[in-house]
Chain A
């Protein structure tokens, strides 16, 4: 029996081309030694995941690390892209002490570099110091994270809800909150009954 010669499968070129793209390399690869030298003991781990530089830090140190990232002339991360959070509740290895991951994404416009800071906070007391003193724009996005996840930002100038109404009692993007809500959307009075 002679084995039929199988044609070699032709893979789409996208993935390889993406890896070799000079733009991706330039934008995302940061020298880990440089970052370790700059941040020192403030960070717990520095990794490159999916070609993105991720810095793991703690609630006590995250704002200090952000201040270094912004103030250091070599790093020069002068723009706060976003602050958001992830609810880890549905993960297989869920630990209530690691309920939320607060993510600060900063970008350096002159250097074209990006860093993601990840901070893990517990379920019982989800507190992170506010970055509003370092990046002024942080105040708005921290209100959003507070509104959706209930993470409290210590030292925030005005921590109120921003998307949901002030009377709202829940944090809708937490995984234990149902998608269709708990009846708030049906709880209004008809116009005729208001008189």
Chain B
């Protein structure tokens, strides 16, 4: 399972030791319940990811919840406009801790091609984002990769903010 620690003196005794946060993280990362904030074409790719061909349930993420109070992963997939941003903030606030956010696609991450008056130029200005998914729209493989990165954050292999840190120094 990847959470056990073997202590040599206990080898072969029929039990193993571990840490409580590792056990909880192991349970959490394999039963993520996503809230689909689908507002545009990225949501179609998200549905494709959930379908049997790409089958996100292989990673334990198949229980889509339409109530933020029952979910721990917010997938922002699509454009967010002026009228929608307070709704998104409220949904984020209603989700119980611990919670993670995927910003899927160019529009959710940066505003995309819509440099216009109602379009939010990146939801990360107003809610914290853990993983960005590039693409317009991203392929289902990209979203699966993002979910795997969220799993890495949950079980402690990666720090929070590791995937949103700039990899190139700004000049």
Name the CB-closest residue of B to A172. B117
A191→B115 contact, CB < 8 A: no
- Distance in Å: Cβ of A44 to nearest Cβ of chain B: 35
B121 CB-CB contact with A under 8 Å: yes
A13 CB-CB contact with B under 8 Å: no
- Distance in Å: Cβ of B82 to nearest Cβ of chain A: 6
How many interface residues does chain A have, given as a range? 10 to 19
Give the complex CA separation of A181 and B85 in angstroms.
16
Note all chain A residues with C-beta closer than 8 A to B89. 188-189, 191, 194
Note all chain B residues with C-beta closer than 8 A to A180. 115-117
Query: Which residues in chain B, 116-158, are within 8 Å of chain A measured between CB atoms?
Result: 116-121, 125-128
Q: With A164-B83, A188-B89, A194-B89 in contact, do A181 and B127 touch (Cβ < 8 Å)? A: no
Q: With A165-B82, A165-B83, A191-B89 in contact, do A186 and B116 touch (Cβ < 8 Å)? A: no
Cβ 8 A contact of B82, one of A164, A179, A191: A164
Name the CB-closest residue of A to B92. A191
Give the complex CA separation of A192 and B128 in angstroms.
8
**A163-195 vs B: 1/0 string, CB under 8 Å?**
011001000100001111110111011111010
Q: With A179-B116, A191-B126 in contact, do A186 and B121 touch (Cβ < 8 Å)? A: yes
Name the CB-closest residue of A to B81. A185
A185→B117 contact, CB < 8 A: yes
Most buried by A among B93, B118, B119: B118
B86 CB-CB contact with A under 8 Å: yes
Note all chain B residues with C-beta closer than 8 A to A194. 89, 93
- Distance in Å: Cβ of B40 to nearest Cβ of chain A: 16
**A60-92 vs B: 1/0 string, CB under 8 Å?**
000000000000000000000000000000000
Note all chain A residues with C-beta closer than 8 A to B118. 164, 172, 181, 184-185
A188→B126 contact, CB < 8 A: yes
A-B Cβ contacts below 8 A, count = 51
Name the CB-closest residue of B to A168. B82
- Distance in Å: Cβ of B99 to nearest Cβ of chain A: 11
Note all chain B residues with C-beta closer than 8 A to A168. 82
Note all chain A residues with C-beta closer than 8 A to B128. 191-192
**A26-46 vs B: 1/0 string, CB under 8 Å?**
000000000000000000000
Give the complex CA separation of A185 and B110 in angstroms.
12
B93→A184 contact, CB < 8 A: no
A189→B83 contact, CB < 8 A: no
Give the complex CA separation of A185 and B89 in angstroms.
14
Name the CB-closest residue of A to B83. A165
Note all chain A residues with C-beta closer than 8 A to B126. 188-191
A184→B117 contact, CB < 8 A: yes
**A6-34 vs B: 1/0 string, CB under 8 Å?**
00000000000000000000000000000
Name the CB-closest residue of B to A188. B126
Most buried by B among A184, A186, A188, A189: A188
List 19 interface pairs A-B (beta carbons < 8 Å), by A numbering.
A164-B118, A177-B117, A179-B115, A181-B118, A182-B117, A185-B82, A185-B120, A186-B121, A186-B125, A188-B86, A188-B89, A188-B120, A189-B89, A190-B125, A190-B126, A191-B89, A191-B92, A191-B126, A194-B93
Interchain residue pairs A-B with the least CB separation, the first 8? A181-B117, A191-B127, A188-B126, A191-B89, A191-B92, A165-B83, A190-B126, A188-B85
- Point out residues on A near B: beta carbons under 8 Å: 164-165, 168, 172, 177-182, 184-186, 188-192, 194
